[in-house]
Amino acid sequence: MSTSEIVSTQRRNLPLLATPEAVTGRTYIVTGANTGLGFEAAKHLVALGAGKVILAVRSIEAGERAKDAINKSSGRPGAVEVWHLDLSSFDSVKAFAQRAITELERVDAVIENAAVAMMGPVRAEGHLLSVTVNVLSTFLLAVLLAGKMRESAERSGGGLVRVVIVTSRIGFTAQEEWQRIWEDPLVGIEQDEGLQVKSYHLSKLMEILALKHLATLLPVERTGVVFNLVCPGLCTTELIRNAPPGYKAQVADMHQLYGRTAEDGSRTLLHGAVAGRESHGCLLHSCEIGEQVCHVDIYSKYCADDRIQE
C-alpha cells in the first residue's frame, strides 16, 4: 500500500463500538495484554463490565503490573487474571489452551494481539520467529480453542463468539516477495535469506490468507464462531522495539505524522470482538469492514488454487 492509501485510512478518535450490553459478564482472552493495544483493549473490556479477562502474557511479572493498573483504573478487582503464554513455544500454546478448556466456563472472544516484528535470522520451533509467533502459534491457539468456543456459543442459546486475529495491511506490501514463495511459503522464506528482512510483512500476509481459508472451513452457521482479522492501523506501541535502528527511526517519524495512540487503536480490536456474522473471514480496520480498500485481488489469486479450497 502507498503512503497516501495508509494515511487516508488512519482516522483518529475511533468509535467505541463495544458496549456494556455486549460485554457484561462475558469472558475474554487477550494475548500480548501487558502493553500497547492488548493492554488498552483489556482495560476497556473490564471497564465495560466483562466477567473475566485473561491477560495472556509471556512475562507474568509484566502481566501482574498490567493487572494492577487495570484494577486501579476500573475499580473492579477480581475481573482480571494473568496467565502465561509464550507463542515462541508450541508446548506453551498447548498448555495454555488446555488450561482454558479446563478452567474457563466459557470463552466469548479471543483477541490474538501478540506479535513480534523481528527482521533477522532469529528462530523458534524451527522457523523464523515472526512466522512462529505471528502465524503458526497464533493459528494453533485458535484451532485448539475452537471446540471450547463452539460449546460457549451453543450454551449461550445461539449467540456468537469470536476469534480476532490482529494483523496488518503492511502484508500487502510484500506481494512481490510472496510470489517467490507462495507454493510452499514456510520452506521458501527459510531458503531465501533475502526475505528475512521482510519476514514480518510476509507473516502478516500469511495471517490474512490463512484466516480467510480457515473461515471457509469453519463456517459461522455451523460453529457459532466468527473468525475475523483486524488491522489497527499505525499505532504508537512497543512492537518495533527489536527492529533495526534505521527502521525504528522511520516508523517513529510516521507515528508523529499520522499514528494513532494505543488506546485509539485498541478500539479496532474491540470492534472485532463484537462484530457480527457479516465480519466472518473479513479484514476490518478503522472499526468497519475494510475489504473494499484492501487488495482483494490477492485473495482470488492465491485462494483459487485447488490445493487450498475446502
Active site residues: 200, 204
Which phi and psi (to 5°) does residue 192 adopt?
Answer: -100, 95
Q: How far apart are CA 165 and CA 45, in angstroms?
A: 17
Contact indicator for 186, 168 with CB cutoff of 8 Å: no
Q: How far apart are CA 276 and CA 267, in angstroms?
A: 16
Q: How far apart are CA 176 and CA 193, in angstroms?
A: 15
Q: How far apart are CA 22 and CA 83, in angstroms?
A: 24
Dihedral, 237, 240, 242, 245 alpha carbons, nearest 10: -120
Q: How far apart are CA 5 and CA 3, in angstroms?
A: 5
| CA 187 from centre of chain | 24
Question: In terms of Cα–Cα distance, which of 78, 68, 109, 85 is closest to 31?
Answer: 85
- Strand-pairing partners, residue 127, are 124
Other CB atoms within a 10 A radius of the CB of residue 13 amount to 8
Q: How far apart are CA 76 and CA 90, in angstroms?
A: 33
Cell (9 digits) for 142: 485458535
